[in-house]
Amino acid sequence: MDVEKLSALSLSSAPPPFRGQFPPTPPLQDFYEHQNAGLFPSASNGHERCFPPVYPLPPPSRENKVLAEDLKTPDHHVERDPRLIRLTGTHPFNVEAPLSDLYDEGFLTTKDLHYVRNHGAVPLVNDADVLDWEFSITGLVDQPTTLTLRDLIQTYEQATYPITLVCAGNRRKEQNVVRKTKGFSWGAAGVSTALWTGVALGDVLARARPTRRARYVCFDGADRLPNGFYGTSVRLSWAMDPERGMMLAHRMNGEPLSPDHGKPLRIVIPGQIGGRSVKWLKKIIVTDKPSDNWYHIYDNRVLPTTISPEESADLPETWKDERYAIYDLNTNSAVCYPAHDERVPLPAGYEGGVYKLKGYAYAGGGKRVTRLEVTLDQGKSWTLANVSYPEDLYRLAPEGEMLYGGRLDMTWRDSSFCWCFWELDLPLSLLATAGDVMVRAMDDAMMVQPRDMYWSVLGMMNNPWYRVVIHKEAHALRFEHPTQPALIPGGWMERVKKAGGNITNGFWGEKKAGESETPVAELAPVKEISMVNDKVDQKITAEELQQHSGEHEPWFIVNGQVYDGTKFLEGHPGGATSIINAAGQDVSEEFLAIHSENAKAMMPDYHIGTAPAETTTDSPSHALLSEDPVFLNPKTWRPAILSAKTPVSHDSTIFHFTLASPTQTVGLPVGQHLLMRLRDPATREAIIRAYTPITSSPSDPAGELCVLIKIYRPGPGQQQGGKMTQNLDSLPLGHPVEFKGPVGKFVYHGSGRCSINGKERVVKRFVMVCGGSGVTPIFAVLRAVVRGDGTSGLGPDCVVLDGNREEGDILLREELGALEAESNGRCRVVHALSRPGEGWKGMKGRLDQGLFEREVGLRGSGRGDTMVLVCGPEGLEKATKQALLKMGWEEDDFLFF
């Protein structure tokens, strides 16, 4: 970004900053210099300027740069402040400032420390394209239209207002300590305030003329995410109400929006949670119902506290219930000083000293905080703090005052949309005798912060009294906040819980005099399966772990504990390679993402000790060298770029991935699978599934990887649908996806030779049974059987039974038919439909015993010369096995992919 030049026109109305500082010089791009001329109204208003101004202006911004951790992410074009605390790893960018730094910036927050909530990659918008950015207004309007940012600035009156934005997850870390929610751990700094310049949303909607049936306004952004574009909605009556103050903003603190804050255009909705203020605005749709966007339904809701995270997955109608949607903020407050772990000296004669307690508070829906109360005796008595509202200073601006190209006129508005600050001088003598200090705020509707937490599955709107514990140390007081953000350790809540205290007992985990020895029942504790053998206390060294990093006696780490997989090499459903590939590594994320509760319950049998302090974890996912001849690596996640999507049916798509080099091969043995890894857009938890690509043989083109996947969308019996498949389906082209492998216990070597967990076997006949997308591993083996020998008649015979509901569900039909024709009679493909159409001439009905008797027949006489390969839904696998066992086939004949 060019920070050298300024737009004199757009800043000519900016008064000097508050408190005697010189005016800021916001960095504006070159294109504003030559394209923006005449777009803003004149600063001259005929009134004597207030000098110095009576209202605050922002502190100066910092010179930032693209940080090293962002260079290998889709956000490699975004400059950021290194002080921000990352809450969801490196990417996407979800951050808050250190609480003290946020408070110290004052009433207005720079773009550098303003909190950021991104669900995915930040859209790249070049400076030269900003004024040509288009957005549409459609739906239930008489005059649908498409506008550019240039149109918005030229055609509509501009306004500038101070507005506080708050993430609905602010203070969520406290809820996560009580019980893990589905959200990541915000501290108490998910709140920020800025001067926003733009156009009243009601003015734009009025020109579009909503129809009589219109009730809601939906917004869609340009950030392509795993579940579609981010979008949400608000009531139309709110959007049209000037008192509500909703605006289309294109400036923040006098500067054009930065990428993380919505460059070049966003919605800003005062008084409501930040999740309603859609960034990178592309669509405004007027409707008669709330938005059906995935993020509107499955985010920003407070479900009843009785619903657990596990139960919530099966309650689609509950998620859609608008009674649980969050709009207006609730009243909240926090202590900023003393800071966490701050130490206040107690010198001789300290009894006469005082400490100034300081913090912030806010309310929602235009309400004001009317009181802030402090208690040193856990609520028995309260003291009023002094509350200051810097927002009110803007109401003193002269009539017609212009600020950053927008009219600053707040004298008529009764609503309050900003945070306030509070202070209270407390005698050190009182602090030294108190065990804690707590604060609560009340708004002008007499709604006060609750004493206790209301836990909910998403961990939002957390606003109980804010409690700071006071520790007496030698000649000093040390203060302890409830939590620290992200994975930062510290806070009295974690300390009390680790010590076995019950932080939901109504006394913040402290045991009171006369309290029963029987602990008070905690809030629906999560049923966690122990994977540790309590009798094992051995500490494994790094050298010992390295000695067991090969295929013999493989040891691996899960959640800081070491397990010996040797005894399970033969019995592992995924084959011995799955365990061998994990040898010597920390595979916690992969293990927990894939394995069932039953598998976790088996782990104590393999537990041998505690992991060394420094462990080589899962290799970096971007450790891919383009000169490597083979793409897959069994111990390293490697990225490939999603280059195309080819729909092949109403619910199935071929996903095309480009490898690092056009000469690189996939490196997947026939019959084995690869692992694919994505991350949940909200929680950043790993989503890992196994797939068999349809391109992996030596005859396939190098440099590419194609995977045929059925997309499981929400529907009857599907609840929310498939997490992996929906995320993958919504992934934008050009996005990296990570792969690892090979995995699996079966390998077909050719000429009927195969191996299962390393044991050789010769097969003269394959019976291949599949359904839906389960055809992909069957297709890989069939292709090798037909083409792998190079001669006719020497490979095994095959019969493929492919069961589907309707004709449109048959996948790879042409490819299977071509292999059948190419096999010279050795292989036969049979399609059966349970819901055939009138024109269907093939087999009808399910894959049952009658069909197997007609198409497969009895087992061959030679022991081990026949094999049944099955891949499909659980019901298909069970029915196949039951039918063939009744026909004389044996357990050793079956292999389930």
Q: Would you name the residues annotated as active-site residues?
A: 167, 299-300
What are the E-state strand segments in 511-651?
555-558, 561-564, 607-610, 638-647
Token digits for 589?
């994320």
Cα-only R_g, the chain: 32
Q: Which amino acid is at 363?
A: A
Residue with tokens 């991935």: 657
706 appears as a binding residue in the annotation: no
Tell me if residue 137 falls in helix, strand or coil. strand
Euclidean distance between CA atoms 771 and 766, whole angstroms: 16
Q: Could you tell me the CA-to-CA distances from 494 to 201, 523, 824 in Å, in that order? A: 44, 16, 69
**How many Å from the N-terminal Cα to the C-terminal Cα in the chain?**
53
Token digits for 302?
């407070």
DSSP 26-85: ----HHHHHH-TT-S--S--SSPPPSS-SS--PPPPP--B--GGGTTSTTTT--B-TTSE
Residue with tokens 């409830």: 482
Please provide residue 756's backbone torsions phi and psi, each rounded to the nearest 5 degrees.
-125, 115
Are the C-beta atoms of residues 463 and 455 closer than 8 Å to each other? no
Euclidean distance between CA atoms 346 and 768, whole angstroms: 80
Euclidean distance between CA atoms 801 and 798, whole angstroms: 10
For residue 703, with 0-12 CB atoms within 10 Å meaning exposed, 13-18 middle and 19 or more buried, which class applies? Answer: middle
Are the C-beta atoms of residues 555 and 545 closer than 8 Å to each other? yes
Bridge partner residues of 569 (DSSP)? none
- Beta strand pairing call for 827-833 and 843-844: parallel
Are the C-beta atoms of residues 460 and 325 closer than 8 Å to each other? no
Are the C-beta atoms of residues 271 and 365 closer than 8 Å to each other? yes
Euclidean distance between CA atoms 702 and 657, whole angstroms: 11
Bridge partner residues of 830 (DSSP)? 801
| Planar angle of CA 156, 157, 161, nearest 5 degrees | 130
Q: What is the DSSP letter of 143?
A: S
Please provide residue 597's backbone torsions phi and psi, each rounded to the nearest 5 degrees.
-65, -35
The residue count of the chain comes to 897
Token digits for 509?
């985990």
Q: Which long-range CB contacts under 8 A does 790-793 form with residues at least 24 apart? A: 792/824, 792/826, 793/824, 793/826
Helix (H) or strand (E) holding 765: strand 765-771
759-762: strand order across its sheet: 746-750, 753-756, 759-762
Are the C-beta atoms of residues 886 and 836 closer than 8 Å to each other? no
Bridge partner residues of 367 (DSSP)? none
Euclidean distance between CA atoms 544 and 576, whole angstroms: 21
Euclidean distance between CA atoms 86 and 113, whole angstroms: 12
For residue 339, with 0-12 CB atoms within 10 Å meaning exposed, 13-18 middle and 19 or more buried, which class applies? Answer: middle
Euclidean distance between CA atoms 279 and 121, whole angstroms: 12
Euclidean distance between CA atoms 233 and 301, whole angstroms: 13
For residue 746, with 0-12 CB atoms within 10 Å meaning exposed, 13-18 middle and 19 or more buried, which class applies? Answer: buried
Q: What is the DSSP letter of 168?
A: T
Binding site for Mo-molybdopterin: residue ranges? Answer: 167
Q: Write out the binding residues.
A: 167
